[in-house]
């Protein structure tokens, strides 16, 4: 059998943690090989070793049958290994060509020969059907196009072994389709691909074989065609995974949040991110907001919570117009918010968990009086949240937030927001980057809040999450409401189409 890459019995230890323990991955020539595992399972570490960013403590790497020592990315490049990083490594104010030739600039005399490089980029783009304009500036092209630039970067360096790190996370369904076509084209032209992912659907769609790792350990390599999704999921998590969440039927009650033709400006100059958006969220329901990243969800949430001003329209909570309220006034009116980026917005990482638990209410009694803090009251309150929400931290409430794992940080935030006892709970990507255990826990707490009659607005890029948790689903595209459907009588396909901007009924 012809293997282009063999990673044999790889072990890598970081202080206090074994990231890779005796992992073996063999890539056949001309195949798409998926590397499946949960967040934190050790996928990135393994690929970083192959790409020369880390050195393995033990184990062997063979490329095209020869033992190699990949000491840095340059060696990987010379061996024909290229990587499309999850976070693109592109300079925003450079052109496509400049980005591609960076580090490998063709010269004429002392100057960089941009012209001939651009020609070569164009040729490559045509050969693989990428359709990239070599002279466009990165900041002016779409995310999907940027990813193609990353692919071109590898092709320009004559890479034959391509690593894709979670490539679909930022793409629209249409762009995902295109990417898969491109991947098949690459295989046709003789390349071999490793696809890092935790999405089973994509593996089923394009991969030939799949290697599963869990908590740094090698679980197995399987043929994708002869393995079901459920089997792969069980290999990944280590136990049976429930694909749906139990939730009792419930009649929704009064309207809590009402958006009336809300428009919001984008973070980018001059663009409108949300247009005439109207929506109601009621007591005892989870309303899921589905959409591809960057279609106005973030701006909409920022407008509701007061982080961003609205251009026009009105926002009501319990019938009260809060359009001009400050952020704090909105919190006091009954809005709680689990933010999209827990480290950026959700926590002051250098504060203790105790201090973080009163971030919105430190100025209320009993936590402070006449401008002076009451540390005992704060500690007591935080203690309760830490216990109720199973937040695991070395020194309890005295632990610095930075020292907690991502899952525990998120549980602390969820606990803090639920403890505010809000009428409306806005949960944005509440489970991003967490392991399955934490995901299930947070899902169950959200459902519990719904059952207790709270209104919940759930914003998520994971379609499965939206489908499983929501009672109703609103779909947003380019800042406009495409439609609202009942979770019970819809499916992934329909929502996928609506996310692409195609309204219900348009297809018939």
Q: Which is nearer to another protein, 129 or 366 (CB)?
A: 366
Q: Which of 94, 275, 314, 396 binds another protein (CB under 8 A)?
A: 94
102 binds another protein (CB under 8 A): yes
Percent helix, strand, coil in the chain, to 5, is 35, 30, 35
List b or e across 107-134, with b for residues whose CB sees 16 or more CB atoms inside 10 angstroms.
eeeeeeebeebbebbbebbeebebebbb
104 binds another protein (CB under 8 A): yes
400 binds another protein (CB under 8 A): no
305 binds another protein (CB under 8 A): yes
Shortest Cβ distance from residue 308 to another protein (Å)? 11
List b or e across 11-43, with b for residues whose CB sees 16 or more CB atoms inside 10 angstroms.
bbeeeeebbbbebbbbbebbbbbbbbbbbbbbb
92 binds another protein (CB under 8 A): yes
Shortest Cβ distance from residue 243 to another protein (Å)? 31
**Which residues in the 17-56 window bind another protein by CB under 8 A?**
48, 53-54
CA distance 335 to 74: 51
Tokens 């109207």 belong to residue: 278
- Token pair listed for 338: 């689990």
CA distance 195 to 198: 10
Binding to another protein by CB under 8 A, coded x per residue (else -) over 265-304, reads: ----------------------------------------
Shortest Cβ distance from residue 36 to another protein (Å)? 21
Scanning 94-102, 181-189, 285-293, 471-479 for contacts with another protein by CB under 8 A, the matching segment is 94-102
Q: Which residues contact 254 (CB under 8 A, 6 or more apart)?
A: 282, 283, 318
Largest CA distance in the chain: 77
Q: Which is nearer to another protein, 363 or 506 (CB)?
A: 363
365 binds another protein (CB under 8 A): no
Residues pairing with 287 in the sheet: 457, 472
74 binds another protein (CB under 8 A): yes
Q: Which of 209, 157, 162 is nearest to 182 (CA)?
A: 162
Q: Which of 255, 349, 497, 500 binds another protein (CB under 8 A)?
A: 349
CA distance 42 to 217: 8
Q: Which of 16, 65, 66, 93 binds another protein (CB under 8 A)?
A: 93
CA distance 112 to 429: 44
Cis peptide before 93 (omega within 30 of 0): no
Q: Which is nearer to another protein, 303 or 499 (CB)?
A: 303
Shortest Cβ distance from residue 375 to another protein (Å)? 8
Q: Which of 30, 59, 73, 406 binds another protein (CB under 8 A)?
A: 73
372 binds another protein (CB under 8 A): yes
Shortest Cβ distance from residue 461 to another protein (Å)? 20
Q: Give Cα separations from 171 to 147, 188, 485, 495 (angstroms).
A: 9, 23, 23, 15
- Token pair listed for 400: 């610095």
Q: Which of 203, 331, 353, 414 binds another protein (CB under 8 A)?
A: 331
Residue 420 has a CB neighbour count (10 Å cut-off) of: 17
CA distance 403 to 393: 8
Shortest Cβ distance from residue 93 to another protein (Å)? 6
Q: Which is nearer to another protein, 281 or 331 (CB)?
A: 331
Q: Which of 91, 230, 242, 271 binds another protein (CB under 8 A)?
A: 91
Binding to another protein by CB under 8 A, coded x per residue (else -) over 134-163, reads: -------------------x----------
SS (H, E, C) 309-375: CEEEEEEEECCEECCCCCHHHHHHCCEEEECCCHHHHHCCCCCEHHHHCCCCCCCCCCCEECCEECH
Q: Which of 71, 103, 293, 444 binds another protein (CB under 8 A)?
A: 103
Q: Which is nearer to another protein, 26 or 120 (CB)?
A: 120
Tokens 């466009």 belong to residue: 136
Residue numbers at the binding site for another protein (CB under 8 A): 48, 53-54, 73-74, 77, 83, 85, 87, 89-94, 98-99, 101-105, 107, 110-112, 153, 305-307, 326-331, 337, 339, 344-351, 355, 359-360, 362-363, 368, 371-373
């Amino acid at each position: 059998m012809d293997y282009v890459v063999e990673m044999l019995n790889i072990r890598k230890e970081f202080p206090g943690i074994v990231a890779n323990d005796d992992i073996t991955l063999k890539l056949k020539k001309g195949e798409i090989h998926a590397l499946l595992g949960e967040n934190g399972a050790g996928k990135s570490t393994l690929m970083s070793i192959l790409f020369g960013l880390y050195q393995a403590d033990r184990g062997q790497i063979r490329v095209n049958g020869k033992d190699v020592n990949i000491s840095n990315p340059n060696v990987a490049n010379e061996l024909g290994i290229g990587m499309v990083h999850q976070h693109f490594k592109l300079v925003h104010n450079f052109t496509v060509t400049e980005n591609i030739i960076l580090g490998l600039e063709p010269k004429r005399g002392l100057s960089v020969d941009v012209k001939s490089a651009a020609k070569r980029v164009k040729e490559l783009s045509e050969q693989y059907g990428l359709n990239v304009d070599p002279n466009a500036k990165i900041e002016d092209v779409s995310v999907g196009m940027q990813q193609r630039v990353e692919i071109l970067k590898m092709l320009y360096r004559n890479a034959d072994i391509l690593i894709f790190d979670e490539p679909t996370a930022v793409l629209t369904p249409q762009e995902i389709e295109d990417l898969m076509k491109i991947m098949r084209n690459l295989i046709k032209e003789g390349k071999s691909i490793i696809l890092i992912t935790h999405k089973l659907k994509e593996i089923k769609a394009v991969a030939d074989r799949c290697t599963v790792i869990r908590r740094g350990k090698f679980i197995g390599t399987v043929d994708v065609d002869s393995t079901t999704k459920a089997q792969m999921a069980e290999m990944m998590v280590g136990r049976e995974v429930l694909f749906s969440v139990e939730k009792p039927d419930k009649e929704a009650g009064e309207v809590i949040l009402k958006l009336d033709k809300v428009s919001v400006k984008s973070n980018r100059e001059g663009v409108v991110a949300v247009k005439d958006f109207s929506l109601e969220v009621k007591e005892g329901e989870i309303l899921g907001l589905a959409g591809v990243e960057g279609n106005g969800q973030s701006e909409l949430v920022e407008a509701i919570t007061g982080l961003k001003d609205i251009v026009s329209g009105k926002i009501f909570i319990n019938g009260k117009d809060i359009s001009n309220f400050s952020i704090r006034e909105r919190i006091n009116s009954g809005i709680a918010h689990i933010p999209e980026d827990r480290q950026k917005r959700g926590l002051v990482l250098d504060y203790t968990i105790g201090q973080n638990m009163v971030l919105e209410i430190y100025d209320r009694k009993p936590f402070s009086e006449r401008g002076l803090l009451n540390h005992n009251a704060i500690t007591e309150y935080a203690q309760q949240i830490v216990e109720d929400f199973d937040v695991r931290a070395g020194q309890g409430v005295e632990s610095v937030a930075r020292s907690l794992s991502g899952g525990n940080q998120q549980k602390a935030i969820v606990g803090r927001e639920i403890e505010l006892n809000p009428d409306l709970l806005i949960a944005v990507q509440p489970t991003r980057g967490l392991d399955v255990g934490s995901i299930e826990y947070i899902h169950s707490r959200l459902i519990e809040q719904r059952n207790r009659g709270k209104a919940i607005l759930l914003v998520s890029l994971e379609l499965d999450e939206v489908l499983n948790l929501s009672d109703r689903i609103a779909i947003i595209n380019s800042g406009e409401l495409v439609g609202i459907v009942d979770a019970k009588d819809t499916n992934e396909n329909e929502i996928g189409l609506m996310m692409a901007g195609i309204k219900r009924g348009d297809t018939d």
